[in-house]
């Protein structure tokens, strides 16, 4: 059934199905995340599917369709690989298709209007000829001209309504994409957004001969902290570190939660020395603060981070750059943590805490 949805998203009526899915989500107060968008596409376009049956069961029970409910249905009936990026790509293609439809409607309207103007001009010219036959033809052309003009007016009204709907749908699709590229816990970008940005940064650095730096950041001893204080407090720590890392990513810089307690920062167009200074400020800020448990106000002590930095070198692939940054991160771990290490031609130099 998943392949059927793929076919629907690539069919000429893709935007109609997407519109119906979003309308159904709105009607049932379901937030249009990437996952929910895929589920509700099944609901409106594949009503005999198991996904549609599950959604109907939830709706008939009167229970709200929460993100948790959606995740449970997806886990049972959708391939895990589908939940990563295909809907995002489909949404982007769909938005491009909407632009194409809009241009086609505009072109049809302009062509029809030009035809009407040409008929009106011919009508005026023929009326100057003293001939009953010509007058009869002129009258017929004039009637046709008025009819075309009336149809143009109706088309313009429909076009305005359609344009509004396309804009609304495009905004929803863009929101779906933004949500699916954001880590829910930290509000930083997620791994998919990181992969795309790193690919783009490396390509630009190679094409323009500009510098670029990648930093990988890891919270020290996080597993011990998490096991001691619990996952909720662990999440609190991740959010705090993310807020500091997020402030590093000013301007054209990019920060993401790379996975678990690990983060990544990309510095396009900047040298290692600039990235090092920014990340050292972040490391010092994090290590100097005594955290408190939100629920009980207990002192949690200080936490620290370790960082590895690698600068783009001509010919680097994204994977090679990431591997060198990871190598520098592990050098920080081996050297005692709470420090930043630089990857340089296969060797690491360490900036001590």
| Ranges 35-44, 109-118, 299-308: which has the least confidence | 109-118
Quick check: 50 pLDDT over 50? Answer: yes
Q: At 297, is the pLDDT very low, low, confident or very high (cuts 50, 70, 90)? A: confident
Is pLDDT larger for residue 88 or for residue 103? Answer: 103
Give the confidence band of 93 by pLDDT, cuts at 50, 70, 90.
low
Tokens 């005026």 correspond to 124
- Say which CATH superfamily domain 191-351 falls into: Reverse transcriptase/Diguanylate cyclase domain (3.30.70.270)
323 versus 65: the higher-pLDDT residue is 323
CB-based burial label for 256 (10 Å; 0-12, 13-18, 19+): buried
When pLDDT is averaged across residues 12-21 and rounded to a whole number, the result is 78
When pLDDT is cut at 50, 70 and 90, the band that residue 349 belongs to is very low
Locate the domains of the chain by residue range: 1-180, 191-351
Tokens 């509000």, residue located: 187
Whether 12 has a pLDDT exceeding 70, the answer reads: no
Q: Which range, of 38-47, 94-103, 185-194, 207-216, averages the lowest pLDDT? A: 94-103
pLDDT at 345 over 60: no
Does pTM top 0.85 for this prediction?
A: no
Residue 141 in this model has a pLDDT that exceeds 80: no
SS3 of the chain: helix, strand, coil, percent, to 5: 65, 15, 25
Query: Which tokens sit at 9?
Result: 């998203």
For residue 56 the two structure tokens come to: 């109907």
Helix, strand or coil for residue 270?
coil
- With left for phi above 0 and alpha for psi between -120 and 50, is residue 215 left, alpha or beta? beta
Kindly write down the DSSP assignment for every residue of 44-98, as one continuous string: HH-TTSHHHHHHHHHHHHT----HHHHHHHHHHHS-GGGGTTHHHHHHHHHHHHH
Q: Are 289 and 296 in contact (CB under 8 A)?
A: no
Residue 209 has what pLDDT? 95
Let me know: does 263 contact 306? Beta carbons within 8 Å.
no
Write the Ramachandran bin of 65: left for phi over 0, alpha for psi from -120 to 50, otherwise beta: beta
Whether residue 31 contacts residue 15, with contact meaning beta carbons closer than 8 Å, is answered with no
Comparison of pLDDT for 107 and 282, the residue scoring more: 282
Q: What percent of the chain has pLDDT over 90?
A: 37
């Amino acid at each position: 059934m998943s392949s059927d949805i793929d076919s629907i998203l690539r069919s000429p009526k893709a935007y109609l199905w997407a519109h119906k899915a979003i309308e159904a989500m709105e009607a049932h107060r379901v937030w249009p995340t990437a996952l929910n968008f895929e589920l509700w596409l099944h609901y409106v376009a594949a009503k005999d599917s198991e996904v549609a049956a599950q959604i109907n069961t939830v709706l008939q029970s009167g229970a709200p369709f929460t993100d948790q409910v959606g995740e449970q249905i997806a886990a049972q009936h959708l391939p895990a690989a589908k939940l990563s990026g295909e809907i995002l790509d489909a949404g982007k293609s769909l938005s491009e298709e909407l632009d194409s439809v809009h241009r086609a409607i505009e072109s049809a309207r302009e062509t029809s209007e030009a035809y009407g103007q040409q008929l009106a001009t011919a009508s005026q010219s023929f009326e100057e000829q003293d001939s009953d036959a010509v007058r009869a033809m002129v009258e017929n052309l004039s009637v046709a001209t008025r009819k075309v003009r009336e149809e143009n007016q109706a088309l313009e009204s429909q076009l305005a309504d359609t344009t509004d709907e396309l804009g609304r749908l495009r905004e929803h699709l863009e929101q779906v994409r933004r949500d699916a590229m954001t880590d829910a816990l930290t509000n930083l970008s997620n791994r998919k957004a990181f992969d795309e940005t790193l690919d783009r940064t490396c390509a630009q650095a190679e094409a323009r001969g500009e510098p670029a730096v990648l930093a990988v950041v890891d919270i020290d001893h996080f597993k011990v902290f998490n096991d001691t204080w619990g996952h909720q407090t662990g999440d609190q720590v991740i959010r705090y570190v993310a807020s500091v890392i997020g402030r590093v990513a000013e301007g054209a810089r990019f920060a993401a939660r790379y996975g678990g307690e690990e983060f990544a920062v990309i510095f396009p167009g900047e040298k290692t020395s600039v990235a090092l200074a920014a990340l050292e400020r972040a490391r010092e800020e994090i290590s100097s603060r005594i955290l408190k448990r939100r629920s009980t106000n207990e002192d949690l002590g200080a936490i620290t981070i370790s960082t590895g930095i690698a600068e783009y070198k001509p010919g680097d692939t994204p994977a090679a750059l990431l591997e060198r940054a990871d190598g520098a991160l592990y050098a920080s771990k081996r050297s005692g943590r709470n420090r930043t290490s630089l990857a340089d031609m296969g060797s690491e130099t360490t900036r001590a805490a």
